[in-house]
Amino acid sequence: MSDSLEKLAARAAELRRVLERASYEYYVLDRPEISDLEYDRMFRELQALEAQHPELRTLDSPTQRVGAPPQGQLAKHAHVVPMISLGNAFDDDELREWEARITRQVGNDANGGYSAELKIDGTAVSLTYENGVLVTGATRGNGTIGEIVTANLRTMRDIPLRLADPKPPRLVEIRGECYLPFDAFERLNEERAKAGEPIFANPRNSAAGSLRQLDPAMTAKRPLRFFGFAAAAPADCRASLLDPARSARHARAVGLPRRVASPEPRHARRRHDVRARGRALASCAAQLRH
């Protein structure tokens, strides 16, 4: 690589870093540090560099969030670790049976307590990061095989294209839900009704349909959000993100939506036994529209 190209590559890398940080501050922290005008200026500079020198374009470039061509069909993806589904309990007896089953399986470890939190009702996805870079985004599918929707997920500004962790795991999957907040869903239906288009039945189906669009530009028009709730990695990878004690502050520091690794405190309640879950669930239920 010539000296001039090395300088351009360094400039492109700096632009990617600044732009990704700016998106994170704006969409996740809600605390922008640079103006929209400055962001647009740097974005155009990066676009021009990549257009003149395509070899400088990377998977984590902000220019790749929108612009992928429509797909003929969605390809399949095998999850690194299976995505299991949630169980349910409809009354106190079933909940006590679940607790007894957990105690039989894990013994004294069950004394660590429970975390009660809201279930965000969207569509489950898995974000695969290799050495900190988002390489694949997929739906849950049957838990083992999902559909690749990487280009669509890249349009969501609260999903980082690169983790800010200086020593990221070689391979990690961030699990979460893509969803439409109630107010955004209502606005979307109002707009569709005014345009004479059929309205969506509910936020969950709307989110799933939005994510499975063959054209990423259509997904980009929908106000989707991401709620991360877990991380998974094969045994041979450094699983630093798997420790449930990691704080929301650290999740922010590595560029993840703050709900990954540790839910927002106002949406989670820690309880030592299931008998105390009633108060926790009532407190969470009061926040359902937020």
Q: What 3-state DSSP class applies to 56? A: helix
CA-CA distance, 257 to 266, in Å (whole number)?
15
User: How many other C-beta atoms are found inside a 10 Å radius of the C-beta of residue 75?
Assistant: 12
Looking at the DSSP bridge assignments, the partners of residue 230 are 175
Which residues are designated catalytic? 119
**What are the backbone dihedrals phi and psi of residue 247, each rounded to the nearest 5 degrees, phi first?**
-85, 160
CA-CA distance, 7 to 237, in Å (whole number)?
34
Report the run of H or E that residue 153 belongs to, with start and end. helix 150-153
How is residue 37 written in tokens? 């005008």
CA-CA distance, 278 to 274, in Å (whole number)?
8
CA 260 to chain centre: 8
CA-CA distance, 34 to 7, in Å (whole number)?
24
Q: What 3-state DSSP class applies to 191? A: helix
CA-CA distance, 275 to 273, in Å (whole number)?
5
Report the run of H or E that residue 173 belongs to, with start and end. strand 171-179
